[in-house]
Structure 1
Amino acid sequence: MPQDPFAWTTAALETRRAAGLLRTLCPRPAVSPLLDLAGNDYLGLSRHPRVTAAAAEAALRWGAGAGGSRLVTGTTELHARLEAELAEFCGFEAALVLSSGYAANLAAVTALTSHASYEGLIVSDAYNHASLIDGCRLSRSRTAVAAHAEPEAVRKALEAHEGQALVVSDSVFSVDGDAAPLAALAAVCREAGAGLLVDDAHGFGVLGPGGRGAPHAAGLSGAVGTVATVTLSKSLGSQGGAVLGPAPVIAHLLNTARTFIFDTGLAPAAAGAALASLRLLRGEPERAERTRAVATGLYERLRAAGLDATRPDAAVVSVRAPSPGTALAWAADCRAAGVQVGCFRPPSVPDGISRLRLTARGDLTRAQLATAADTVIATAPAAA
């Protein structure tokens, strides 16, 4: 009987199970009776009739898949329109659409730091998303991890380095929903001559005038030395990602970013849906304001009940739990009561603290908001 080289995985799974950290998949039905506060459909556009119709029309016209990489057959007229309208809406010179926000971050970090003449430094916020962290690792550049949301820590890291540097940060951090001090970070970068890369996955569609994003709100759209990434899977309710920046930077990514060059292009249905959502957002800018108002209302109700909820800077509200097992049971109790919430546990959380993560969708009614808050409060463990 040959020895199983993967036998160790069984023991690893049991260790995770005993610690309350085992992850499992839970397929959802097409129509769920649950009130969803777990996903990232911040503006409630993923099922909007104009968005789903655009996705269907694109699939019928262009096919189910892109058919190849963007540089071969995977670029359609939809991709080109989406890139042009994204760049214009967010205030950048150009955009490049990729198959996911994860791929967009990998492309931006590696292409801007891995070229032959680059012997510089990356300064990364300690709470950055995994895609930025992986981009730093793949770039093989020296990386300094700066204390969370502290521009002075970034300044010190840059002062200790001579040569090129890139500062990378989420605009809104996905776990607690707190915003990065982008204006202060940009000032530090200008003083040091460093570039700034902002992952605006959780700010785009929610922050800035009409949802134009956190860089726009901070006066950084189109600024020299600033590049941003966005996802199409959150506020736009579709799938994919994009890099926004100066035209030469985007052209450089098109020619060098491996997650763009060697990946199949975004499916036409996703591109069509994202374009329809973007046009809806442009025509209905109040959607962004409504999402922020829902987040604030949810936070205030939870805090008034004595729960350790974080003040939202965008659409995410998190509520801390005493332990991973308690968080998992709390989320299960919410689900049993008809409300689906996110449950974040180590190692997905950089501070090691488990919590419920609630998404304040802009299409929630006042009655639904009240139901969600009341359910989280009623099911809360005694020590939460």
Structure 2
Amino acid sequence: MLLAVNDPLGWLDVRAGERVRAGLRRELRARGPVTGMIDLASNDYLGLSRRAEVAEGAIEAVRKWGTGSTGSRLVTGTTLEHEELEAELAEFVGARAGLVFASGYAANLGVVTALSGRGSLVVSDAGSHASLVDACRLSRARVEIAPHCDVEAVDRLLAERTEERALVITDSVFSADGDLAPLTELHRVARARGAVLVVDEAHGLGVRGTGGRGLVHELGLAGQPDLVITATLSKALAAQGGVVLADERVRAHLIDSARTFIFDTGLAPAAVGAARAALRLLRREPEMAIRVRTRAAEIARISQVPQPDSAVVSVVIGEAQRAYDAAQACRARGLSVGCFRPPSVPEGTSRLRLTARADLTDAEMATIATVLTEVLADARRAEAAPA
């Protein structure tokens, strides 16, 4: 009690100490415009963030529309450029309509909360992204968490519901492990039970499907009226923002009801222009989607882990501090890698998260092989050593 009286934020020091001891303290690391590092940490899957055409798309949009969108989408924040991007993205993935949000996080919050609410059920995969988890918390619906990729559990939860409306939500490609959701089976169950399937294609767009059209398109589910796609523009499309791709009725409802659309400032013109330019490049060079998966397979072989279904290669180390140390060892050798620790992943499964890029060169791959072979050998020896 005295601690709270004398220093009401003193508990922050206690929590910080706990995180340090558990190997979970996080830090911001500012990078310069040129790092000299080989990047296996970002989500720039197609390597488009430095392409001149994408930069020029952003610059041209700023020249034309200004630096900011100047308001919410319903006031002054919608330009012709926004609507053209929405139409182009919808046509690309085979959806009937699109609606752009300020971020992928906002798109997930907006669509889940607007399509659920009190008196409805939301069934979420245990591996769903944090944005979908938070959407569930804000939805005011009854929320049930199904075991990872367990279609039978989803079916049972839908069958047992008393609510009239229901959503099933999942990533298409799960961000930590890079594995694929059983979308065909989930859609079959959702349709049979009168539910809507919401699929986050953040890590599928640009990577899976013909020319990078996503896993929904690859499986022949595009355009189904009871399936809603969300995606981010900040990964394969090298920009920023999010989008919902769905039936026209869903788009109209979100414009009326999605709070993260109504009350947020519209996506900045630079991001819109960059995303459109990146999408044009992907149409022109559809083989990029194949190249990124090929590079991911090579990285998996080097790391001695199973072949991935996406651009994400997950190398489980185990203990959080050991995973952090391995990531730092990679960095010291000129290789930037992701390090996922709790709460991003379950306790005891901390890992290096390696993300492939379509533009990795053979010389970079040779360096990657040398660094990962050395670092992972050391990490595995440490893991096997008696405590």
Report the TM-score range of the alignment, normalised by the length of the smaller protein. Answer: over 0.9
Give 1:260-339 correspondences, 5 Å limit: 260-303=261-304, 309-339=305-335
**Aligned-pair distance for 1:224?**
2.4
Q: Secondary structure at the match of 1:140?
A: coil
- 1:158 is aligned to 158
Q: Secondary structure at the match of 1:127?
A: coil
> Contact 1:176–1:310 (CA<8 Å) still a contact in 2?
no
**Aligned-pair distance for 1:351?**
5.7
**Aligned-pair distance for 1:311?**
3.0
Matched, 1:365 2:366: no
Partner Cα separation in structure 1 for residue 318 and residue 221 of structure 2: 39
Counterpart residue type for residue 181 of structure 2: A
Unaligned runs of 5+ in 1: 304-308
- 1:58 is aligned to 61
Counterpart residue type for residue 289 of structure 2: A
Partner Cα separation in structure 2 for residue 186 and residue 43 of structure 1: 29
Counterpart residue type for residue 182 of structure 1: L
Q: 1:231 to 1:77 in 2, by over 3 A?
A: same
- 2:197 is aligned to 196
Partner Cα separation in structure 2 for residue 60 and residue 18 of structure 1: 50
Partner Cα separation in structure 1 for residue 46 and residue 303 of structure 2: 21
Q: 1:275 to 1:351 in 2, by over 3 A?
A: farther
Counterpart residue type for residue 179 of structure 1: L
**Aligned-pair distance for 1:6?**
1.2
> Contact 1:322–1:383 (CA<8 Å) still a contact in 2?
no
TM-score w.r.t. the length of structure 1 is 0.96
Identity, % of aligned pairs?
55
**Aligned-pair distance for 1:368?**
1.3
- 1:144 is aligned to 144
| Aligned with 1:87 (options 87, 90, 101) | 90
**Aligned-pair distance for 1:366?**
2.1
Partner Cα separation in structure 2 for residue 383 and residue 95 of structure 1: 49
Partner Cα separation in structure 2 for residue 186 and residue 322 of structure 1: 34
Deviations, residues 188-216 of structure 1 (Å, cap 9, x unaligned): 11111111000000001100100001110
Unaligned runs of 5+ in 2: none
| Aligned with 2:35 (options 29, 32, 36) | 32
Give 1:35-46 correspondences, 5 Å limit: 35-46=38-49
Partner Cα separation in structure 1 for residue 306 and residue 225 of structure 2: 33
> Contact 2:318–2:348 (CA<8 Å) still a contact in 1?
no
Q: 1:352 to 1:121 in 2, by over 3 A?
A: farther
Partner Cα separation in structure 2 for residue 310 and residue 68 of structure 1: 47
Partner Cα separation in structure 1 for residue 54 and residue 225 of structure 2: 34
Q: Secondary structure at the match of 1:17?
A: helix
Partner Cα separation in structure 2 for residue 351 and residue 313 of structure 1: 24
- 2:134 is aligned to 134
> Contact 1:310–1:319 (CA<8 Å) still a contact in 2?
no
Q: Secondary structure at the match of 1:321?
A: strand
> Contact 2:296–2:308 (CA<8 Å) still a contact in 1?
yes
Segments ≥4 residues shifted beyond 3 Å: none
Give 1:188-227 correspondences, 5 Å limit: 188-227=189-228
Partner Cα separation in structure 1 for residue 271 and residue 346 of structure 2: 31
Partner Cα separation in structure 1 for residue 262 and residue 298 of structure 2: 44
Paired positions, count: 376
**Aligned-pair distance for 1:62?**
1.2
Q: Secondary structure at the match of 2:318?
A: coil
Deviations, residues 239-260 of structure 1 (Å, cap 9, x unaligned): 0000000001011001110000
> Contact 1:127–1:350 (CA<8 Å) still a contact in 2?
no
Q: What RMSD, in angstroms, separates the aligned Cα atoms of the two structures?
A: 1.3
- 2:24 is aligned to 21
Counterpart residue type for residue 336 of structure 1: A
Partner Cα separation in structure 2 for residue 106 and residue 210 of structure 1: 28
Partner Cα separation in structure 1 for residue 137 and residue 155 of structure 2: 22
**Aligned-pair distance for 1:78?**
1.2
Q: Secondary structure at the match of 2:240?
A: coil
**Aligned-pair distance for 1:81?**
0.7
Higher mean alpha-carbon deviation, 59-68 vs 323-332, is at 59-68
**Aligned-pair distance for 1:352?**
4.8
**Aligned-pair distance for 1:54?**
1.0
